[in-house]
Amino acid sequence: MVSITIDDNLLLRSYEVGDAQELFDLVNESRRHLHPWLDWVVNTTKPEHSLQFIQQSQHKTYEQEALDLAIVHNNKIIGGIGVHHWEQDTKRAQIGYWISAAYEGKGLMNKSLSGFVNFLFDKIALNKIEIHFVRANERSAKIAARLGFKIEGIIRQSTMRNGMPEDVVVAGLLKNERPSSS
């Protein structure tokens, strides 16, 4: 089990099987907020889907293929953060994240990502972290910039969003480039 304390009220921790209903309810409440940016929201239609995600997440963590964590604020799950496309040989991975509509704009995602990035560099020994986001996702662009990520390029029309091809922005941060305030 992974647990990363961000501050007295904010924690990143491994999902547990008992989180399935709470996780589903959170996704369901924020469905309209999350759907434009996250394809998996459409396929999360019942608590069993959240349970399957948690079980798959536990397996992938065990195999060191991915790491999915709940963002917990005052003992309540408010979002998720994780590593995917984890390449052990190059010490590189992509991170993804989401937060419920009720907690957006409060600085909690920025704090969570800052702590998570430090954990990935210091404890997991990654050398590079990437964030991939569609151009229209201005919030992700701002978070990436605040954390010191540099735009490395644009992969043209490499994803579908709402049935339309969309460009993906790739932002990266190397361990030796990380701002001292992270």
| Model pLDDT, residue 179 | 81
* CATH number for 140: 3.40.630.30
Contact indicator for 42, 32 with CB cutoff of 8 Å = no
| Model pLDDT, residue 89 | 94
Q: What is the mean pLDDT of residues 97-116?
A: 96
**Is there a domain that residue 182 lies in?**
no
pLDDT digits 0-9 by tens, 140-157? 999 999 999 999 999 999
**Is there a domain that residue 22 lies in?**
yes
Say yes or no to pLDDT of 180 above 80: no
Say yes or no to pLDDT of 182 above 50: no
Structural domains of the chain, count: 1
Contact indicator for 15, 68 with CB cutoff of 8 Å = yes
**Is there a domain that residue 139 lies in?**
yes
pLDDT digits 0-9 by tens, 22-76? 999 999 999 988 888 888 888 899 999 999 999 999 999 999 899 999 999 999 9
Q: What is the largest CA-CA distance in the chain?
A: 43
Can you give the residue range of the structural domain that contains 12?
Answer: 3-177
**Is there a domain that residue 13 lies in?**
yes
**Is there a domain that residue 31 lies in?**
yes
